[in-house]
Amino acid sequence: MANIGPLAVRAGVVALNIAMVALSVWLFSLLANSIGIARCTSSLFLLSCDIPRLQTFDWPANVALLSLCLICVFLFQTVLKPYSTAPFFLLAAALMIFCSVFDMIFQLPVRNFVRLFGETFNLLSLVIFLSFTFVAVIVPADVRLYPHWLWAMLQSYIARDLIFLFYIGAQWRYLGMTALYLLFLAYSFGAFSIHIMSVGRVISQGGRLRIADDGPDYRQA
């Protein structure tokens, strides 16, 4: 292993990344079809799904979601207000309330929802792939990082699959802006946030290896 050059190590990380993204897209398609929540096909790195959608407005589901958000606003304005996460949850709940009220008034379905979902999923796959590739260039080219690379990629791609599977199972009760906002939450504060933490762990492990290899002089520099 010691004779493996930096270029070969980085090429191995990129190859692992390619294999993981292709495998995870296939796995998502397999799970979605097996569970029966959507009819999906995978083409190497790309996913295409036919997702069932309600044709009429589901009042009970929307009222329940609106009530939950109002409860969250009340809690984070009173009991949970001292916590540092209160502003974030207040903003998220307030935006959800706006989307729910908008849908209750206008009841407009999302146009081209299936295409929008597919493009969002594929865009997230591309973002995860490119970020891992970029990090492979800036962290030390060390074979000892391979287990951390593998674990980070498993976390990122499997978390994306599970979160979007859960979204497909929940979104069909919401027609318009609520469905779009839930998709935004699944993308940004669900799958992408977990991916950022996975990347951060690889970078921190690379820094620890560099410090350990360079010794005390590096820590004092």
Which amino acid is located at 96 in the chain?
M
Is residue 217 pLDDT above 60, yes or no?
no
Mean pLDDT of 9-36: 95
Sorted by where each begins, the domain ranges of the chain are 6-55+109-220, 56-105
The per-residue b/e assignment along 108-130, b for 16 or more CB within 10 angstroms, e otherwise, is eebeebeeebbebbeebbebbbe
pLDDT at 87 over 50: yes
- The mean predicted confidence, pLDDT, of the chain is 90
How confident is residue 4, by pLDDT bands cut at 50, 70 and 90?
low
Report the pLDDT value the prediction gives residue 3, as an integer from 0 to 100.
53
**In 3-state terms, what secondary structure has residue 82?**
coil
Confidence of residue 1 (pLDDT cuts 50, 70, 90): very low
Residue 85: its pLDDT value, please? Answer: 87
Q: How far apart are CA 121 and CA 45, in angstroms?
A: 11
CB count in 10 Å sphere of residue 179: 24
For residue 42, the surrounding DSSP H or E stretch is: strand 39-43
